[in-house]
Amino acid sequence: MRTGNDDGTTPARGTFTQTARRAQLVGCAIDALAEVGYQQTTVAEVARRAGVSKGVVTYYFPARDDLVWAVVAAVFASVGEHVGSRLEDVPPSRFVATYLGAWVDYYRAYRREMTAIAEIWTSFRDASGHPHLDARTLGRERALVEAALAAGQAEGTLGDFSPRVMAVTLKAALDGLLAQLAMEPALDLDAYLDELVALFDRATRAALSPCREGSVNHRDPAMTSHLAGGKPGSVAKGAYCCERTCSRSGRAPDSREMPWHQR
């Protein structure tokens, strides 16, 4: 039975004090997830950290799942604010470097939030054992990156490659950095970022991958057409949100039923 709103919170109770209390409980849950892991982040553990009774926690979040969804919503909102806002109105020629830099800066400043999401990503499952969060959760972000890359190709500042493959590879590189950071907390993020930017600059720049007669053109006509109506960066913040029902059905959607930007 669903006990909360779609954003992972319980129905609003109106007062500033109650809003602050919910935020405190979410913050305690993030700390617990980052420090003791998903399995140990119980209602009792969150209550202990907040210095309140379990009943206070369940007043705001009647079920543990409600609290976990609230963490997901809070972290995604934070990413939208700090990463998505950096990508608004960035020209396609500078998108890759800006995208990588925004995420690395977020890792630097919000390491506990990223650790918490990593715990949720691998362990938060429905009654059938299917993960609530999966690759489809990031569909909007991937579509944003694909659109920016395709825009760069359309204007001639980026070379000939598959925007989809490049978008997936960019995200995989960032995921790899997050895993490396977990193993090596003192990792030099500035040096790592410089290497990533140089690597993807070589992979995407037009000068090193000109379209040649007879070569395969990886550009998606549907995507290029979609871009004609506006800048990809104009929807950057909206790319970072998460529906509570990400994979609740337990069935991967048929790509034929999905719009092009979610396939």
> What mean pLDDT value characterizes the chain?
80
Ordered by start, the domain boundaries in the chain are: 74-262
Average pLDDT over residues 207-226: 45
Q: Are 41 and 126 in contact (CB under 8 A)?
A: no
Q: Regarding predicted confidence, which is higher, 233 or 76?
A: 76
The rounded distance, in Å, linking the Cα atoms of 258 and 263 is 6
Q: Regarding predicted confidence, which is higher, 133 or 59?
A: 59
DSSP 153-218: HHHTSB-SS-HHHHHHHHHHHHHHHHHHHHH-TT--HHHHHHHHHHHHHHHHBGGGS---TT----
Interval 129-171: pLDDT, tens: 898 887 777 788 999 999 999 999 999 999 999 999 999 999 9
Half-sphere exposure of 127 (CA within 13 A, CB side): 3
pLDDT of residue 212: 42
pLDDT of residue 57: 97
pLDDT of residue 237: 54
Interval 171-187: pLDDT, tens: 999 999 999 998 999 99
pLDDT of residue 241: 59
Average pLDDT over residues 31-43: 96
The rounded distance, in Å, linking the Cα atoms of 43 and 58 is 8
CATH 1.10.357 given to domain 74-262: yes
Percentage of the chain with pLDDT > 90? Answer: 62
* Other residues' Cβ atoms within 10 Å of the Cβ of residue 230: 11
pLDDT of residue 238: 59
Please tell me whether the overall predicted TM-score, pTM, comes out greater than 0.85 for this model.
no
The rounded distance, in Å, linking the Cα atoms of 139 and 144 is 9
Q: Are 26 and 18 in contact (CB under 8 A)?
A: no
The rounded distance, in Å, linking the Cα atoms of 233 and 238 is 10
Looking at the chain, list the stretches that DSSP marks H as alpha helix, in order from N- to C-terminal side: 16-36, 43-50, 54-60, 64-79, 85-87, 92-109, 111-123, 139-155, 163-183, 189-204, 221-227
